[in-house]
Amino acid sequence: MTPVSSHSPHGQSPLRTVQVLGGGNAGSSAHVRSLASGLVARGVRVTVCAPTDADHAYDFTGAGAEHVHVPRSSDPGSVAALRAACAHADLVHAHGLHASFRAVLALSGRSTPLVVTWHNRAHAEGARAHLLRLLERRVVKAAAVVLGTTSDLVDRARRTGARDARLAAVALPGPRAAVEPEDADRLRPKIRAELGAVDSPLLLAVGSLDPSRGYGTLLDAAREWRGLDPVPLVVIAGEGPLRAELQRRIDDEELPVRLIGRRDDVDDLLTAADLVLLSSSWEPRSVLAQEALHARVPLVATAVGGIPDLVGDAAELVPHGDARALAAAVVRLLSDPERRSALREMGTRQAATWPTEDETVAQVLSVYDELTRPLPLP
């Protein structure tokens, strides 16, 4: 691959970039951490504008970037702080809708190129949905390039008026230390015993307990397979506003489901799982789906957002909101070891097609180079 320049359009080196985060999305924060590390290694100066707690969680300074505390969008001082941080930037790259809108305001009256990455789709209803559409239009018209992590986000940006919208190469961020077979053999029975699935199939779901995750449908499906012997146990790792409501249903209907709260050992949970379940109403490049295929755990997922393009034929895909289809896919896989084995192999092959962190950085840097390259003399 031909290296791209990290020089600014005025012959200054290195290129000075500002990455803008809202601080609330784990996927975009992890992406920016990975991006900052790769850009710094290629001689680019990187400033990350994000709340201080985001730097504590993702260690942007440890990646070689400068961190500037910029409050979340609800803070009236955020735009002024961001404007000051961007004063000497050659290029600004904002991640997510709200961070992008603040970047547009902060760059008002300046010619600094703005790149925007949409990692997810904003959900809202009523008046708030109208406001989000207005924000989207303002952002895409101001951005030199909009990068979408899924093809439908790219299409949405184009429909909204983007001058230039492209599919982003986004790697699963962070080093992935494979669990050695002997470690897996030791961990698996220990974790299954902890979760109460010694003699039962263990089905794993991971994600915040909010309406977009489709956990109501998952509980409906769990009711469908209570007649199996042994009864599969569903374990949901995550916290959120629906916890009390979901727990009531689990108790009232005596469902084989456990809510285990937020966990920082998802890799270990994957080692113990027989299947991974993803029941969301929409997903971008789902981290859980990628982790499942990397870990060689068969995946049953809803055919929404970026999931079909991400997993190809290496997962069982079902319609969103269809509990019977979800239950049937699980029952079918649990009774078919050959299909599970085939999905593991297809998952490994599919994961090998995903972009690496180096490829992700190279794509972004090529966009930067394109936007900051000096215009040819007439």
Cα–Cα dist 192/151, whole Å: 38
Mean pLDDT of 47-54: 94
* Domain span holding position 218: 181-351
Q: What is the pLDDT of residues 111-150, one digit of tens each?
A: 999 999 999 887 767 788 888 899 999 999 999 999 999 9
Entry pTM: 0.85
Q: Contact, 49 vs 70, CB < 8 A? A: yes
> What contacts 267, CB < 8 A, 6 or more positions away?
179, 291, 295
> What contacts 259, CB < 8 A, 6 or more positions away?
209, 236, 238, 243, 246, 247, 250
Within-domain flag for 11: no
Within-domain flag for 80: yes
pLDDT at 237: 97
Mean residue pLDDT across the chain: 91
In this model, does residue 178 exceed pLDDT 70?
Answer: no
Q: Are residues 165 and 110 in the same domain?
A: yes
Q: Are residues 234 and 147 in the same domain?
A: no
Q: Are residues 155 and 71 in the same domain?
A: yes
Looking at the chain, the whole-number percentage of residues with pLDDT higher than 70 is 92
Mean pLDDT of 328-347: 97
Within-domain flag for 5: no
Using DSSP bridges, classify how beta strands 233-237 and 165-167 pair: parallel, antiparallel or unpaired: unpaired
Report the 3 state secondary structure along the chain.
CCCCCCCCCCCCCCCEEEEEECCCCHHHHHHHHHHHHHHHHCCCEEEEEECHHHHHHHCCHHHCCEEEECCCCCCCCHHHHHHHHCCCCCEEEEECHHHHHHHHHHCCCCCCCEEEEECCCCCCCHHHHHHHHHHHHHHHHHCCEEEECCHHHHHHHHHHCCCCEEECCCCCCCCCCCCCHHHHHHHHHHHHHHHCCCCCCEEEEECCCCHHHCHHHHHHHHHHCCCCCCCCEEEEECCCCCHHHHHHHHHHCCCCEEEEECCCCHHHHHHHCCEEEECCCCCCCCHHHHHHHHCCCCEEEECCCCHHHHHCCCCEEECCCCHHHHHHHHHHHHCCHHHHHHHHHHHHHHHCCCCCHHHHHHHHHHHHHHHHCCCCCC
Q: How confident is the model at residue 8 (pLDDT cuts 50, 70, 90)?
A: very low
In this model, does residue 189 exceed pLDDT 90?
Answer: yes
Q: Contact, 243 vs 259, CB < 8 A? A: yes
pLDDT at 313: 97
Within-domain flag for 267: yes
Q: Are residues 197 and 340 in the same domain?
A: yes
Q: What is the pLDDT of residues 276-287, one digit of tens each?
A: 999 999 988 898
Mean pLDDT of 207-219: 95
Q: Are residues 70 and 157 in the same domain?
A: yes
In this model, does residue 175 exceed pLDDT 90?
Answer: no
Report residue 190 as tokens: 């220990």
The amino acid that residue 137 corresponds to is R
The amino acid that residue 253 corresponds to is E
In this model, does residue 49 exceed pLDDT 60?
Answer: yes
Q: What is the pLDDT of residues 65-122, one digit of tens each?
A: 999 999 887 677 899 999 999 999 999 999 999 999 999 999 999 999 999 999 988 7
Cα–Cα dist 275/105, whole Å: 45
pLDDT at 284: 87
Q: Are residues 142 and 155 in the same domain?
A: yes
- The more confidently predicted of residues 327 and 123 is 327
What CATH number is given to the structural domain containing 222? 3.40.50.2000
Within-domain flag for 176: no
Q: Are residues 191 and 204 in the same domain?
A: yes
Cα–Cα dist 113/110, whole Å: 9
Structural Rg of the chain based on CA atoms? 22
Q: Are residues 340 and 360 in the same domain?
A: no
Q: Are residues 237 and 312 in the same domain?
A: yes
Q: Are residues 265 and 347 in the same domain?
A: yes
Which strand (E) or helix (H) includes residue 230? Answer: none
Within-domain flag for 73: yes
Cα–Cα dist 58/26, whole Å: 9
Please report, for residues 8, 52, 130, the alpha-carbon distance to residue 2 in angstroms, rounded to integers and kept in the order given. Answer: 18, 36, 44
Q: Tally the domains of the chain.
A: 2
Q: Are residues 151 and 205 in the same domain?
A: no
